[in-house]
């Protein structure tokens, strides 16, 4: 067992790593117009600055979880930070939009290395009651990155150019790499067989790629439904192969035998499906209907993120004492109520009604996230920690993709006899109302685990 000081040093390293990726995503969203002007990029190409990262991360999550067990979580974590630093510099020096997209895809691979090892390492270092506290602080840094993106990222973009955001990320990742080399002293290898599951990795990677690519190009791509269907079929085939494999990349049977693990992951996917696109919808609402600037809209949205950042350490600590089935269910219910109220608030002529809704959603998400993550990691043996981290990150990204798809479908619904702004308001209200319904459904798996 590590000493308390050593554990806290590891926690600090993981916390900084957890800040990097969400900060990059939220900061780059504001920088896309400047990137587009510099490279003369089309809107579709700019969208792939974000999507290439997400798609690459999702495709490699499960295979990298197996890699972390085979070669050790320490080395994969170190390489993840090194790759984040290197690709950040490549992004800053990209000579064309296509070079930037390639560097972002490689950066997504590096981020996947961090996703599959960060929670697993924390779970190994903090066992028992201390794990919830560690999860809470890690979750707080994720939300801190989201909150700092529009503020710090916007400042860097406006004063030094969008490339400075990547330079900042490179500095942080380099610092974490050298700190981790000194602080992480164990390899933390898992139990894996000698035989590699190449067929499973290929089916999962191709299926995930086709599914997510189809969803993200649903509007304007006539092949998208076929790609989605083919992706689903390949993933179903992947499950069948894993069930028969002697040494599977993903032990699928754990989903049928471990109700806590399964329900917690289902609840996580529903929660992210319901909440990921809220910031996008409200940003659209505030800037298009209330004519606010991007910076003003960002300050309004900070209410939710700040609440998540402040409350998450508390809820993580509470999950060491009280059942996550209660804490997470309360969080899911509070989020559902906040989303429902937000749907109604978007039909008023003032933005004052948004603040209590964002306040409730932020607290609700904090009550759900850290306790739910703590439960997932606590429901499996130590040799499955990398797999559990991979699955948790996978369902999160699938939930985020589903959220984008739901919004995409909502904004394509025709409304007869409505002006453009009223049509937009109706689409936003419909999306938020549906997200509230999805979140309400999520209370069931959150509670029955």
**pLDDT single digits (tens) 395-448:** 888 888 788 777 766 666 665 655 667 777 888 888 899 999 999 999 999 888
Rounded Cα–Cα distance for residues 337 and 400 (Å): 20
My answer on whether 417 and 380 are in the same domain is yes
> Looking at the predicted structure, is the pLDDT value of residue 219 above 70?
no
Arithmetic mean of pLDDT over the chain: 86
Q: What is the rounded average pLDDT of the residues 305-317?
A: 90
CATH number of the domain that residue 443 is part of: 1.20.1250.20
My answer on whether 161 and 219 are in the same domain is no
The CA-based angle 344-346-347, given to 5 degrees, is: 70
Torsion over CA of 378, 383, 384 and 385, rounded to 10 degrees?
60
What would the pLDDT profile of 245-277 be if each residue is shown by its tens digit? Answer: 777 778 887 888 888 999 999 999 999 889 888
My answer on whether 163 and 238 are in the same domain is no
Angstrom distances, CA of residue 214 to CA of 25, 45, 211, 278? 21, 16, 5, 22
Instruction: Supply the pLDDT for residue 411.
Output: 62
Instruction: Supply the pLDDT for residue 193.
Output: 55
Residue-wise burial string across 5-23, b where 16 or more C-beta atoms lie within 10 A, e elsewhere: eebebbbebbbbbbbbbbb
Angstrom distances, CA of residue 305 to CA of 85, 344, 363, 439? 26, 21, 9, 18
Instruction: Supply the pLDDT for residue 415.
Output: 58
Among the candidates 168, 192, 216, a domain finishes at: 192
Contact 346, 428 (CB under 8 A): yes
Tokens of residue 372, six digits:
């739910």
What would the pLDDT profile of 98-120 be if each residue is shown by its tens digit? Answer: 999 999 999 999 999 999 999 99
Instruction: Supply the pLDDT for residue 191.
Output: 65
Instruction: Supply the pLDDT for residue 418.
Output: 56
CB atoms inside a 10 Å sphere around CB 166:
27
- Identify whether 60 is part of a domain: yes
- Identify whether 410 is part of a domain: yes
My answer on whether 185 and 203 are in the same domain is no
- Identify whether 359 is part of a domain: yes
- Identify whether 402 is part of a domain: yes
Rounded Cα–Cα distance for residues 276 and 218 (Å): 18
My answer on whether 145 and 286 are in the same domain is no
What total of structural domains would you count in the chain? 3
What would the pLDDT profile of 159-197 be if each residue is shown by its tens digit? Answer: 888 899 999 999 999 999 999 999 988 888 766 655 676
State the residue range of the domain holding 220. 198-244
My answer on whether 154 and 221 are in the same domain is no
Nearest CA to 205 among 241, 165, 161? 241
My answer on whether 285 and 419 are in the same domain is yes
My answer on whether 398 and 312 are in the same domain is yes
Q: What is the rounded average pLDDT of the residues 305-309?
A: 89
My answer on whether 428 and 368 are in the same domain is yes
- Identify whether 30 is part of a domain: yes
My answer on whether 221 and 178 are in the same domain is no
- Identify whether 281 is part of a domain: yes
Return the residue matching tokens 């606010």. Answer: 292
- Identify whether 249 is part of a domain: no
- Identify whether 116 is part of a domain: yes
Residue-wise burial string across 271-293, b where 16 or more C-beta atoms lie within 10 A, e elsewhere: bbbbbbbbbbbbbbbbeebeebe
My answer on whether 294 and 425 are in the same domain is yes
My answer on whether 216 and 269 are in the same domain is no
Among the candidates 244, 274, 304, a domain finishes at: 244
């Amino acid at each position: 067992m590590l000493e308390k000081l050593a554990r806290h040093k590891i926690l600090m390293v993981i916390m900084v790593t957890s800040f990097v990726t969400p900060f990059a995503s939220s900061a780059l969203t504001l920088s896309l117009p400047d990137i587009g002007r510099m490279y003369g990029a089309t809107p579709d190409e700019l969208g792939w600055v974000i999507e290439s990262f997400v798609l690459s991360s999702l495709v490699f999550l499960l295979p990298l979880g197996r890699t972390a067990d085979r070669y050790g979580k320490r080395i994969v974590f170190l390489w993840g930070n090194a790759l984040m630093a290197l690709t950040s510099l490549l992004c800053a020096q990209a000579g064309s939009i296509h070079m930037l997209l390639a560097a972002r895809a490689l950066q997504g691979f590096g981020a996947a290395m961090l996703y599959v090892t960060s929670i697993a390492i924390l779970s190994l270092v903090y066992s028992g009651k201390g794990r919830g506290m560690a999860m809470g602080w890690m979750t707080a840094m994720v939300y801190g990155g989201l909150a700092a993106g529009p503020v710090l990222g916007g400042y860097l973009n406006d004063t030094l150019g969008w490339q400075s955001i990547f330079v900042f990320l490179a500095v942080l990742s380099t610092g974490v790499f050298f700190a981790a080399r000194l602080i992480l002293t164990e390899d933390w290898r898992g139990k894996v067989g000698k035989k590699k599951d190449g067929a499973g990795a290929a089916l999962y990677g191709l299926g995930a790629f086709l599914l997510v690519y189809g969803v993200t190009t649903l509007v304007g791509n006539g092949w998208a439904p076929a790609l989605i269907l083919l992706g689903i079929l390949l993933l179903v085939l992947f499950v069948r192969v894993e069930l028969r494999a002697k040494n599977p990349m993903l032990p699928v049977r754990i989903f049928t035998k471990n109700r806590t693990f399964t329900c917690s992951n289902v609840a996580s996917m529903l929660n992210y499906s319901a909440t990921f696109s809220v910031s996008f919808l409200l940003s659209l609402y505030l800037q298009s209907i209330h004519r606010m600037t991007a910076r003003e809209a960002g300050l309004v949205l900070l209410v939710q993120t700040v609440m998540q950042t402040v409350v998450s350490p508390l809820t993580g600590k509470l999950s060491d004492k009280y059942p996550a089935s209660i804490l997470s269910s309360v969080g899911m219910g509070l989020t559902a109520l906040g989303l429902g109220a937000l749907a109604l608030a978007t039909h008023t002529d003032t933005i004052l009604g948004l603040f209590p809704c964002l306040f409730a959603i932020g607290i609700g998400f904090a009550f759900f996230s850290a306790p739910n993550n703590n439960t997932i990691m606590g429901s499996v043996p130590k040799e499955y920690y990398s797999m559990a981290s991979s699955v948790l990150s996978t369902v999160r990204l699938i939930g985020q993709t589903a959220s984008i798809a739901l919004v995409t479908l909502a904004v394509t619904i025709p409304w007869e006899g409505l002006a453009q702004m009223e049509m937009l308001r109706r689409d936003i209200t419909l999306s938020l109302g549906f997200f509230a319904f999805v979140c309400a459904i999520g209370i069931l798996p959150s509670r029955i685990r």
